[in-house]
Amino acid sequence: MSSHKPAADPRLNTTGYEEEVINMKQTFTYTVWFYAMFGIMTVISAGILIVMAPSYFTDKGGQSRMARVPGKDQPLLQSNITSKSDIADMRRHEQEVLDSTGPVNEAKGEYRIPIEDAIKLSAQRGINGGQAWPAGQGRKPGG
């Protein structure tokens, strides 16, 4: 004879359903064991992989692939965050160069002036400083 009480609804007895209370302590114990075994098996599998396939983690020279710094022919890719800040730094430096004076090549006597001043001087003097281009000395289109 069954120790279970019959269901309140007589139709449920015909389908084989019996009302029971879930044993939460037992369910918790089985869940903990399941995850513990999963963790142990993961560690064992990783150990086997490292022992059986060491070449996966090292290159031909025996150096760890994780610590290897790529050569110049294989540069590391840059993240979006650092690329945006690098571009902003580059633009800031370019603007500083355009807005300041300083030597370009002192040996040749080449200096830079602020871009606004260069535009004003070019407008006052003309493209060739008000002088005609010597014959054959001008640049050809596209050259």
pLDDT tens-digit readout, 41-94: 999 998 888 887 777 767 676 666 666 566 677 766 767 777 778 888 999 999
Residue whose pair of structure tokens reads 């979006």 in the numeric block: 80
3-state SS, residue 104: strand
The conformational region for residue 12 under phi > 0 = left, psi -120 to 50 = alpha, else beta, is: alpha
Task: Please give the model's pTM, rounded to 2 decimal places.
Answer: 0.34
* Per-residue pLDDT, 1: 47
| Dist CA 122 CA 136 (whole Å) | 22
- Residue among 79, 82, 61 at smallest CA distance from 71: 61
How many C-beta atoms lie closer than 10 Å to residue 114's C-beta? 13
Average pLDDT over residues 16-28: 72
Strand partners, 111: 103
Whether the per-residue pLDDT at 109 is higher than 80: the answer is yes
Instruction: Pick 96 or 18 by higher pLDDT.
Output: 96
Residue 105 — φ and ψ, nearest 5°? Answer: -150, 95
Residue 138 vs residue 83, higher pLDDT: 83
Of residues 63 and 31, more confidently modeled: 31
Question: What is the pLDDT, as a whole number, of residue 91?
Answer: 92
Position 17 scores a pLDDT of 52
Query: Three-state SS for 116?
Result: helix
